[in-house]
């Protein structure tokens, strides 16, 4: 018997298909109703569909002893406890590749916006400041800038390729040096930040990368340096970021992600040299449709053949070892 459970709010197109095809349940959000659902049906649930925003933690897995797979929408899956899933033999999938281009496009957009001050200049025109204020202050050149990519995975590479087209000099830091990469490898995030004008964060989230961009890294980037983050808010020490932006220790930041979404620190809202986006990097009609499709295809393939199309890397690594 298959019982599919939706955990967290999902795109309507995905949620509707889950009901139409699998007669899926939705885990209630109210604590008492959730508890009652799990007590009554938890043992029958065989597959969970969720997203990177919600995920499945260890405590929820314990309430789902018959669970065989967690199918997650989004490339990032730091909200799902993959170690707990692996201990239980629960498979986990995500939706890589289909969103790479749009996320990379957004990173480049943020870089241009923040370095050239485009949103701030737009505000200048709109508030009628141009006729009296005259020429807008000079901004910083993107073409030819030295760019550091933190996390040279699929998305990091796509960002680097785009910025190569701008004549940028690319270097990177990743957990491991990437074989055959044409870009210079920096041994540490601090060394990378010291060497560049723009640091782009494109690493995956989760405990291993929490505050990888700490105060030291931001200080190394310095008062002429810019930060762009399209990864996870948890990767950057947001308090240190705010301090340095306020004190002039950093030139500016373009952020699609925050430590406590959807809440953005007031200090950031008050600054003119930051560009703030509501976690929209993959949010195009085309890419979201492809993400919905890949999520459904993973579920279908798991239920029909016991195979995930795009398992998370930890699972791939353990099957390669085993
Ligand atoms: C998703 C994202 O919209 O894929 C990711 O990791 O951050 C976004 O593209 C989000 O995860 C959905 O919850």
The string of pLDDT tens digits covering residues 200-229 is: 999 999 999 999 999 999 999 999 999 999
For strand 25-26 and strand 69-73, is the pairing parallel, antiparallel, or unpaired? unpaired
Ligand 1: centre distance to CA 1 (Å): 30
Q: What is the pTM of this model?
A: 0.96
* CATH fold match for the domains 3-96+286-321 and 100-276: yes
> Tokens standing for 155?
């998305």
The domain spans of the chain are 3-96+286-321, 100-276
Q: Write out the two tokens for 264.
A: 């953005």
User: Which residues approach ligand 1 with their CB closer than 6 A?
Assistant: 51-53, 73-76, 99, 281-282
Computed on alpha carbons and rounded to an integer, the radius of gyration of the chain in Å comes to 22
Report whether CATH 3.40.50.720 matches the domain 100-276.
yes
Q: What are 224's two structure tokens?
A: 């002429």
Nearest residue (by CA) to ligand 1, atom 4, is 74
What CATH architecture is 3-96+286-321?
A: 3-Layer(aba) Sandwich (3.40)
CA distances, 33 to each of 132, 233, 239 (Å) = 60, 31, 37
Predicted confidence (pLDDT) per residue in 101-137, tens digit = 999 999 999 999 999 999 999 999 999 999 999 999 9
């Amino acid at each position: 018997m298959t019982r599919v459970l939706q955990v967290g709010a999902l795109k309507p197109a995905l949620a509707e298909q889950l009901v139409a095809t699998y007669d899926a349940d939705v885990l209630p959000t109210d604590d008492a109703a959730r508890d009652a659902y799990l007590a009554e049906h938890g043992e029958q649930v065989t597959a969970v569909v969720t997203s990177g925003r919600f995920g499945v933690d260890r405590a929820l897995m314990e309430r789902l002893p018959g669970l065989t797979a967690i199918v997650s929408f989004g490339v990032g899956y730091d909200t799902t406890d993959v170690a707990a899933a692996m201990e239980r033999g629960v498979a986990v999938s995500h939706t890589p590749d289909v969103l790479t281009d749009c996320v990379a496009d957004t990173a480049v957009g943020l870089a241009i916006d923040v370095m050239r001050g485009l949103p701030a200049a737009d505000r200048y025109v709109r508030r009628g400041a141009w006729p009296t204020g005259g020429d807008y202050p000079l901004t910083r050149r993107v073409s030819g800038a030295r760019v550091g990519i933190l996390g040279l995975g699929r998305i990091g590479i796509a960002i680097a390729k785009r910025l190569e087209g701008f004549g940028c000099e690319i270097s990177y830091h990743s957990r491991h040096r990437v074989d055959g990469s044409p870009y210079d490898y920096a041994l540490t995030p601090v060394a990378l930040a010291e060497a560049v004008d723009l640091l782009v964060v494109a690493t995956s989230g989760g405990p291993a990368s929490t505050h990888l961009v700490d105060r030291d890294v931001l200080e190394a980037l310095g008062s002429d340096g810019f930060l762009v983050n399209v990864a996870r808010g948890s990767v950057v020490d947001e308090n240190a970021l705010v301090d340095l932006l306020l004190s002039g220790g950093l030139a500016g930041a373009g952020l699609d992600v925050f430590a406590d979404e959807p809440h953005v620190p007031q200090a950031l809202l008050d600054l003119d040299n930051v560009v703030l986006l509501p976690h929209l990097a993959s949010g195009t009609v085309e890419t979201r449709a492809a993400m919905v499709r890949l999520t459904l295809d993973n579920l279908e393939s798991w239920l029909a053949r016991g195979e995930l199309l795009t398992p998370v890397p930890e699972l791939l690594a353990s099957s390669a070892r085993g």
